[in-house]
Amino acid sequence: MKPIAPPIIGVIMPTRNEAAALPKVLNAILPKVAEVIVVDTASTDGTPEIAAGMGARVVSEPRRGYGRACLAGIAALSPAVDTVLFMDADASDRPEDLPRLLAPLIEDGAELVIGARSLDVEPGALTPQQRFGNALACRLIRLIWGIGYTDLGPFRVIRRAALERLQMRDETWGWTVEMQVRAARLGLRVREVPVGYRRRIGQSKISGTLMGTIKAGWKILWVIAAEALARPTRQTTEANSRLEP
């Protein structure tokens, strides 16, 4: 197999009032990647100033929504970036797990690698409703598309060319499941690797509130239904065979 060049990584990090966690996250990830784009959604605690002062590039997206922030970050990526890393800014994702995500891209030619939160997960880091929602969504994806995902974790890396093929559109809480479903529909070479997960610093804007949990769960189910009803696209068994729990 022809050696694969080391990836040029651009990080997209949606934020809203993450001043308490952001310095820890940026200190850990900045030395490992080509650029970090912090997409700020109307923070009031100095988050964008902290990010800029530490060397990240700040993009403002005044409208709330995880997907909107991700789309704004994609639009701002430098042309040289060929691999995109999505991660949260609340210190729950572990930057030290980045080599785990990159290994399948470099060694096996994977196009999308998802960090499954199953390795050294701190007590309380995942709420019962998050665990239930992930299990239900993954079960539905398996039934409809035959892909054995185990998690919808936000810590993931994807080749930029593959990301462009997905034509991502979701603007809120359906972003991660939309990516995984579209990858299944298109037959991308997908891998899932175990990563750790910590208790976040600060209050969650979604899982930390009852209404946020309900809205996120409903949107995830809506995205799965919409994708299931969409015009069929080619799906390959290779995606199944390369998906690693």
pLDDT attached to residue 204: 65
Kindly report the pTM of this predicted structure: 0.90
pLDDT in tens, 185-194: 999 999 999 9
pLDDT in tens, 29-49: 999 999 999 999 999 999 999
- Could you read off the pLDDT of 65-120 as tens digits, one per residue? 999 999 999 999 999 999 999 999 999 999 999 999 999 999 999 999 999 999 99
Provide the mean pLDDT of the chain. 90
Q: Tell me the per-residue pLDDT of 50-66, one tens digit each, with 9 for 90 and over.
A: 999 999 999 999 999 99
- The confidence score (pLDDT) of residue 216 equals 72
pLDDT score for 232: 59
Q: What would the pLDDT profile of 184-220 be if each residue is shown by its tens digit?
A: 999 999 999 999 999 999 876 555 554 656 777 788 9
Number of Cβ within 10 Å of residue 39's Cβ equals 27
> What is d(CA 227, CA 149) in angstroms, rounded to the nearest whole number?
16
d(CA 173, CA 210): 14
The CA distance from 126 to 190, in Å, is 24
CA dist 197 and 190 (Å) reads 21
Give me the pLDDT at residue 234, please. 47
What is the model's pLDDT at position 2? 59
